Amino acid sequence: MAITEACFLTLSEAASRLRKRDLCSVDLLRSCLAAIDRLEPQVKAWVTLDGEVALREAATLDREADAGRFRGPLHGIPVGIKDVFYTAGLRTTGGHSALANFVPDFDAAVVERLRRAGAIILGKTTTTEYALIAPAETRNPWQIEHTPGGSSSGSGAAVAARMCPAAIGTQTGGSTIRPAAYCGVVGFKPTHGRVSCFGMIPLAHSTDCPGVIARSVADLAPMLQALAGYDPREHTSALRPIYDYVNGCAKAIGEPQIALLMAGEYFANASQEVKANVSETADKLARAGARIDELAMPRSLAGMSEAFWRVLAVEGAAHHREELEQHPESFDPRTLELLQKGLGMSAMKYLQALTVRREFRAAAAEILSHYDAILTPSVPASAPHGLSSTGDPVFNNPWSMAGNPVVGLPSGLSHDGLPMGVQVVGAAFDEARLLAVARWCETLLGFAELPTLVKNQVGRDR
């Protein structure tokens, strides 16, 4: 395989070739770095690149592989890391001016576990300020006048632009699933507590969750296999059994039973084009044998949007209180406004929000006791024009608040050539089943389009 083509491999394809030794990690990494050289001036997906160190690590991993030694399922795979995770010796800015030159002396748990599984840390991808509202400069590789989504903006754009096979994001509201949808790739938010947040700049501890962006559902399984597990250093980490996600994802599931949530005010937020796309997706799955039942929305959903923003504001303000009080000028005005609301919010309003969450979590669990998954839109419309907003997380926030695992799948293109997506929601800590259902859906959807910038580059190369 030509080096220039290696960056087009999915993580699973690359891992297979690396094991067979018909691809070496150095060549894969050089292909990714070449894609970055070509497209980064337009996309702006990276805060910090660590190319030289990454190449040295790739050479070491190739020597180990040649000797028949493999560290884990990600041996030799380059991965981007959202710039809210600590990386020893590599700066971590959180998208915030006060941290522009901050270099941690230890790795976040996510980074530790990726390295242990053989992954190569390629660099740090852009984020909105503290993973909140104020956008980064990153652009969507499908159409650079449009947002790539946020807050995991660089992770979504980098994977879509073939700069790396996978990247780590986070999701507190919609920060992994939304960029994946806008960029036409696959997003994954595990169950809250499944993956440790140790060494991650916090936003709202009761919903913060590391996520994964990749180019196929099969890529998510080895990433989760590497990342999942209890961490006593982090208080939201869940002490739950770990499963064989790779084999679970590949397992034949027969005809899945899927609850379609399209009714009521929740779905009214969607554009007509998104509504049609979700209906077409459901019809396609039903024709292939899935049982699709359209259900009414739980009554508790009506209060989830307000509850989410209350929790986010209060917990975000608590984490950043000292800086808010001593250096409010360091924040973007949009970030400052939201966090100051949190500082002034009453305990009663916060507790009311937690009550709404408990009610919705119970309602979601009841639905998922009868179905393999829930299907909804990922986003209310395709990526907005301009870079002043990263889009609306209205369809993501409830599931992030409830803590359920979610896979986002590209499901078609809008009239103006931008990706649209659906999300498949699973039961808490049942990621293996969710990945199997999502893979079944992905095969039927058959989305294989390339972003405009990538297609243009392929045309020039040929």
Answer whether residue 81 is part of any domain: yes
Residue 312 has pLDDT above 70, yes or no: yes
Rg (CA), the chain: 21
The 3-state DSSP composition of the chain as helix, strand, coil percent (nearest 5) reads: 45, 15, 40
Report phi then psi at 148, rounded to 5. Answer: -85, 0
H or E element, residue 411 = strand 406-413
Is the preceding peptide bond at 151 cis, omega within 30 degrees of 0? yes
Percent of the chain scoring above 70 in pLDDT: 98
Measuring CA to CA, how many Å separate 83 from each of 36, 101, 210, 342, 389?
A: 17, 12, 12, 24, 19
pLDDT tens readout for residues 51-78: 999 999 999 999 999 999 999 999 999 9
Contact (Cβ atoms closer than 8 angstroms) between residue 424 and residue 187: no
452 pLDDT band (50/70/90 cuts)?
A: very high
Answer whether residue 340 is part of any domain: no
Answer whether residue 84 is part of any domain: yes
Catalytic residue (choose from 12, 25, 31, 151): 151
Write down the mean pLDDT value for the chain. 96
What's residue 266's pLDDT?
A: 78
Q: What integer is the mean pLDDT of 33-37?
A: 97
Nearest to 196 by CA among 233, 166, 167: 233
- The rounded distance, in Å, linking the Cα atoms of 411 and 278 is 8
Answer whether residue 148 is part of any domain: yes
What's residue 457's pLDDT?
A: 78
- The rounded distance, in Å, linking the Cα atoms of 276 and 388 is 27
Answer whether residue 337 is part of any domain: no
Catalytic residue (choose from 31, 153, 175, 378): 175
Q: Which residues have a Cβ under 8 Å from the Cβ of 451 and sit 6 or more positions away? A: 140, 141, 142, 160, 161, 183, 184
* pTM of the complete model: 0.97
Percent of the chain scoring above 90 in pLDDT: 93
CATH number at residue 37: 3.90.1300.10
SS3 of 65, please? helix
Instruction: Find the distance separating the first CA and the last CA of the chain, reported in whole Å.
Output: 15
Q: What integer is the mean pLDDT of 174-186?
A: 98
DSSP code of residue 118 = T
| Domains: count for the chain | 1
SS3 of 248, please? helix
Residue 2 has pLDDT above 70, yes or no: no
Q: What integer is the mean pLDDT of 271-288?
A: 97
Structure tokens at 62: 């190739």
pLDDT tens readout for residues 315-326: 999 999 999 999
What's residue 146's pLDDT?
A: 98
What's residue 196's pLDDT?
A: 98
Residue 3 has pLDDT above 90, yes or no: no
Structure tokens at 268: 């009214």
What's residue 177's pLDDT?
A: 98
Active site annotation includes 330: no
Q: What integer is the mean pLDDT of 140-144?
A: 98
What's residue 1's pLDDT?
A: 52
Answer whether residue 330 is part of any domain: no
Q: Which domain holds residue 100?
A: 3-302+351-461
pLDDT tens readout for residues 358-406: 999 999 999 999 999 999 999 999 999 999 999 999 999 999 999 999 9
Answer whether residue 8 is part of any domain: yes
Catalytic residue (choose from 44, 82, 124, 189): 82
Active site annotation includes 175: yes
In 72-116, alpha helices (H): 109-116
Residue 462 has pLDDT above 50, yes or no: no
Answer whether residue 315 is part of any domain: no
Report phi then psi at 228, rounded to 5. Answer: -70, 150
- Looking from the CA of 101 toward its CB, the CA atoms found within 13 Å total 0
Residue 203 has pLDDT above 50, yes or no: yes
